Chain A
Amino acid sequence: EVQLLESGGGLVQPGGSLRLSCAASGFNFNNYAMSWVRQAPGKGLEWVSTISGSDNKTYHADSVKGRFTISRDKSKNTLYLEVNSLRAEDAAVYYCAKKVGGVYAFDIWGQGTMVTVSS
């Protein structure tokens, strides 16, 4: 079964850091670009970051550039998101998502991990 399982969310103070993880199974993780998409409580979806499958090229939304870093460990079939200098507006459910081969869309989503930013 194709599956993505996120972990690492939690309560963090403003200015703090977390590392989110996404364990992939059931497909050839190395062949696909992977992304993080977030959703603040009661709000819409917001693309955060993408890492390519071939050359590990990374892309980040302007709102997180310089604070968040996406990476992947192909030996562990795991995607990561290092989130630093957290702000109140970063509070959200963070989903990892697999890109459809050859098309800019996400066909597999994890269940999400919640990040709460509060003092």
Chain B
Amino acid sequence: QSALTQPASVSGSPGQSITISCTGTSSDVGGYNYVSWYQQHPGKAPKLLIYGVSDRPSGVSNRFSGSKSGNTASLTISGLQAEDEADYYCSSYTSSGTLYVFGTGTKVTVL
């Protein structure tokens, strides 16, 4: 099972919107509405931002939103803030036998 493909880095200025893509296959991202997104600051545990493609857990800012089209899921961060600078990972259920697959990770830089 190969990792889901994410861009290595994305950057934006404060207040801007950025989008991170996450490309898989019909066995994972495209086949199920079980895409989730995580934010990880250096030295910290990951934090759930989005589950079920577009649902936000209680307490997560509505500046974070998720969507999916075909085999590609996306995370959009609107009104970019300095504290959004972190690594972001997507994940999906997979029917390939390994249950879960993570993305390669994207480093977000706030200019």
- Contacts from A to B (Cβ < 8 Å): 35, 37, 44-47, 50, 59, 61-62, 95, 100, 103-107, 109-112
Contact = CB atoms under 8 A, between A and B. Distances in A.
Contacts of B1: 62
Contact of A45 (B32, B48, B98, B105): B105
A106 B46 CA distance: 9
Given A46-B102, A47-B100, A62-B1, A104 B48 contact: no
A105 B45 contact: no
B102 A109 contact: no
Contacts of B72: none
Contacts of A106: 36, 38, 46, 48, 91
Given A35-B100, A104-B100, A105-B48, A45 B93 contact: no
A105 B89 CA distance: 12
Given A104-B36, A104-B93, A107-B48, A59 B105 contact: no
A103 B104 contact: no
Nearest to A111: B45
Contacts of B103: 44
Contact of B102 (A45, A59, A100, A107): A45
Nearest to B1: A62
Given A103-B51, A109-B47, 16 more contacts: A44-B102, A44-B103, A45-B38, A45-B91, A45-B102, A47-B91, A47-B98, A61-B98, A100-B48, A100-B51, A100-B57, A103-B55, A104-B34, A104-B100, A105-B34, A107-B51
Interface of B is mostly: strand
Contacts of A46: 102
B68 to A, nearest CB: 14
Contacts of B20: none
Interface of B: 1, 3, 32, 34, 36, 38, 40, 45-48, 51-52, 55, 57, 89, 91-93, 97-105
Contacts of A50: 99-100
Given A50-B100, A61-B98, A104-B92, A109 B46 contact: yes
